[in-house]
Structure 1
Amino acid sequence: MPQLTPPHVRHRASFLDAVRESVAEGVFVGDALERELDVYGDTWHEPEGFARYVAAVREEELEEGRRPEGFMPATWYWYVDGDAYLGRIQIRHRLTPSLLELGGHIGYGVRPSARRKGYATAMLRDVLPYARALGLDRVLVTCDTTNIGSRKVIEAGGGEFEDERGGKLRYWVPTGRIHGGG
């Protein structure tokens, strides 16, 4: 049964297959895959190089962790079924002005061969308790106005449409936190 898990080296072969699928299709999840290919792509094929990549991704969640200039702390989860890598989802711990406008708290992608099977909807649903644990009552999730599939995922996840800005639809998704009381 598919589940979210922190990035791990045991998924290297399947992850690299997914990267090859995405590159062949010209599909990049935001700028993340393009940036990762530039930095790690030449060493992913070696176990040590892939281990460095996984360690760097996991370090991004630490407040004092290394990450690209201007990036917020963010936690990545991979969606896997056994050793099969299906996709990934990221929670940005807080928003910059730019993320508030266009990027949001959550970014996700499903490998091309695993699309249209409900995995993105399941990833979004399954990541919300982790966002809640970070202290987020609701998360901003955005998608391109032309991305009907992503819009359906966000709406199925409880996304409440706020507006459109810069070609992006902006939705707020409650994380399930109980308000009031104690």
Structure 2
Amino acid sequence: MVALELIDPDPRLHASWVEVVAEFGGVGAHMHGSGWLFEEFADLSLARLERLVEQLRRDGEGLPWTGGVVKCDYLWIVEGDEMVGFLALRHSLTDALRRDGGHIGYAVRPSRRGEGIATRALGLALDRAAALGLDRVLLTCDDDNQASWRAMLAHGAVLEDVIDGKRRYWIPTSR
């Protein structure tokens, strides 16, 4: 079994990225944790991916849509040369992120769901959050997203509340 890793977005995985985008629905797809929530993927060329990766590097220096400037690490969840999902680790919270988004967002490609990938990737993200000096992180998910909140509970998540159909959990980074 190939180890699951979190890596910086890498155009060398272009073919796998194209497959992932297609699985999420292609043009206009909503891919949590990708940094491309509103991007339309009509152009799936290598050149376009290279531009998107460069944009993520720039955007990682600050996320103005969050209601403030928040540094974010955009990461790909991979097994070997296969991209299996997206993960975003935000270094701090704004009021907007406290309501919806939290410190960590993730998505697993549909064909690989149900394999524990989100749970394992979240564990890796918690290690990274601890290395950043965060003693706990906030994660949010839709109330009906049982797979996501089960991944959180596997890491000791504590439900703070449910607001407007969003569950908000705090997870300690030391386990």
TM-score normalized with structure 1 length: 0.84
Task: Give the whole-Å Cα distance in 2 for the aligned partners of 1:84 and 1:172.
Answer: 30
Within 5 Å, give how 1:116-135 maps onto structure 2: 116-135=114-133
Report the aligned-residue RMSD.
2.1
Within 5 Å, give how 1:53-132 maps onto structure 2: 53-63=52-62, 69-70=65-66, 72-132=70-130
Within 5 Å, give how 1:136-151 maps onto structure 2: 136-151=134-149
Amino acid in the other structure paired with 1:124: L
Note closer, same or farther for the CA distance 1:27–1:60 as it changes in structure 2 (3 Å cut).
closer
Task: Give the whole-Å Cα distance in 2 for the aligned partners of 1:5 and 1:171.
Answer: 25
Conserved? CA contact 1:161–1:172, under 8 Å = yes
Matched position secondary structure for 1:36: coil
**Residue 12 of structure 2 is aligned to residue 10 of structure 1:** yes
Task: Give the whole-Å Cα distance in 2 for the aligned partners of 1:21 and 1:85.
Answer: 12
Amino acid in the other structure paired with 1:14: S
Q: How far does the alpha carbon of each residue in 1:113-157 deviate from its partner, in whole angstroms, 9 at most, with x for none?
A: 111000000000011121122221111001111111111011012
Task: Give the whole-Å Cα distance in 2 for the aligned partners of 1:35 and 1:134.
Answer: 28
Amino acid in the other structure paired with 1:16: V
Matched position secondary structure for 2:38: helix
5+ residue gaps in structure 1?
178-182
Larger radius of gyration: 1
Amino acid in the other structure paired with 1:164: V
Task: Give the whole-Å Cα distance in 2 for the aligned partners of 1:172 and 1:130.
Answer: 16
Map of 1:180 onto structure 2: none
The structure with the greater share of residues assigned to helix is: 1
TM-score normalized with structure 2 length: 0.87
Conserved? CA contact 1:60–1:75, under 8 Å = no
Identity of aligned residues (%): 38
Task: Give the whole-Å Cα distance in 1 for the aligned partners of 2:107 and 2:14.
Answer: 17
Conserved? CA contact 2:77–2:121, under 8 Å = yes
Matched position secondary structure for 2:49: helix
Map of 1:23 onto structure 2: 25
CA-CA distance at 1:15 after TM superposition: 0.9
Amino acid in the other structure paired with 1:77: L
- When the two structures are aligned, how many residues end up with a matched partner? 169
Note closer, same or farther for the CA distance 1:132–1:119 as it changes in structure 2 (3 Å cut).
same
